[in-house]
Amino acid sequence: MPTSAEKFISDNGAKVHDRVRIEAKDLTYEGLILPKNNFSKDDIIVIKLDNGYNLGVSVENAKLTILAKAEKKETSIQNKEKNKDLPNISILGTGGTIASFVDYKTGAVSPAITAEQLVNSVKALDQVANVSAEPLFSLASEDMKPTHWEEMATKVKEIHDKNNHGIIIGHGTDTMSYSAAALSFQLSEISNPIILTGAQRSPDRPSSDAHLNLVGAAKAAMSDLGEVGIAMHESTNDTNVAIWRGNRTRKSHSSKRDAFISTNEGPIAIVKEKIEWKSKYKATTENTTLKAGFDSKIGLVWAHPGLNIEDWENMTSGKNGIVIAGTGLGHINSELIDHIGKTTKDIPVAMSSQCLSGSTNLNVYRNGRRLLKCGVVETHDMLPETALVKMMWLSKHHPNNIQKKMSENIAGEISNSRKLN
């Protein structure tokens, strides 16, 4: 049985954060010993090299030499003495790349770091706020479910009522916009900011965007922003963080650090040393109100050439509502329109657009007018994913008024203009 990395470190009189030299397989490495993460194999020791990269090395037949002892043991943030001159904020961990490490056996990125470890790794936060960290769950964001959105909102309400300060939610970027939209509908009035942030690259990589995003999110969490925001890099450079309106934002790039954009509008603010507000926003209120929960039996149908009647029937069967992501101004195959009309007699059907700018407008073309006549409701410039989350929420809390409210702006999800140009 191979020697464990922890035993190897202990047998050589070393500890985490000591600077060491490791000789293995005719190669020599120098760096700081990092804490073991949950996805590293038992026989892998991870060190941070001088160039900023982390390296996993098998301890089998390896030799370790201590070059310098760690100066100070890391203090738990729960036990840190608070700076009376700084405000307090909370960070809730839900998983995602921002809370991940590279598995040095496979090269894959996996959730492995706690909310507290993440905060401790960002020393600049000490100069911004007193931070408390709490894990909610550790999930890749593609595994999020409506029940998780409900749990997040309930926890936010609890913290706002008890501690009366802003909250950062660390979240995977792939479905961050869904969660932001879900929070915006469940928490229509908030006493303190709610800022979601994440990372396109894990915190143990030199090119990670996690640290800047967290600091930017912290500054936004101390403002009077009474909306759910998303804090991510403004550009590919490590300079500024953009604050986006959560329910109008989409991840538009799979890997770039400035991956997020909003439909028909720019960011609410840019965070530099201070926050520069770029547009009007809803301010915080005295209390946080909560209407939690969703109807998960709502479907999202993506219009495309070849979509047929059988497809429509299969996709809508057993659903309590349907959101169509239509082409252009809100279109779908004309042969489906009569069947869509039959569907609207039983459940609500809403039309959104796949486009990232502009708006739906079913009055322009004949087929659009046919859709209106058969009971399809427009969602204007609401993103399809936001429209899906909104209908899920409405079906739970306003089941008899879905058609009317889908076309109304209730949480900032619809802008005031079509912006057709």
Looking at the annotation, which residues are catalytic?
Answer: 97, 173-174, 251
Question: What is the DSSP secondary-structure string of 54-67?
Answer: EEEEE-TT-EEEEE
- Pairing mode, if any, of strands 100-102 and 109-111? antiparallel
3-state secondary structure of 230: strand
Supply the DSSP string of 257-289, one letter for each residue: SS-EEETTS--SEEESSSEEE-S--PBP-SS--
The dihedrals phi and psi of 300, each to the nearest 5 degrees, come to -120, 120
Q: What angle do CA 83, 88, 94 make, to 5 degrees?
A: 125
Instruction: Outline where 325-383 has alpha helix (H).
Output: 337-344, 366-373
**Which tokens is 255 given?**
């890997």
Q: Determine the residue type at 96.
A: G
Strand partners, 269: 243, 277
DSSP string, 176-235: HHHHHHHHHHH-SS-SS-EEEE--SS-TTSTT--HHHHHHHHHHHHTS-B-SEEEEEESS
Helix axes 337-344, 366-373, angle to 10 degrees: 20
What per-residue string of b and e applies to 356-385 under the rule 16 or more CB within 10 Å gives b?
Answer: eebbbbbeeeebbebbeebebbbbbbbbbb
Report the distance separating Cα 357 and Cα 116, nearest Å: 39
Chain center to CA of 26 = 43
d(CA 40, CA 102): 8
**Separation CA 71–CA 73 (nearest Å):** 7
Please choose, from the candidates 382, 311, 366, 357, the residue with its C-alpha nearest in 3D space to the C-alpha of residue 334: 366
DSSP state of 359: -
Instruction: Decide: 292 and 154 in contact? Cβ < 8 Å.
Output: yes
The dihedrals phi and psi of 12, each to the nearest 5 degrees, come to -95, 10
**For 176-289, where are the E strands, in sequence order?**
194-197, 228-233, 241-245, 249-251, 260-262, 269-271, 275-277
Tell me the one-letter amino acid at 147: T
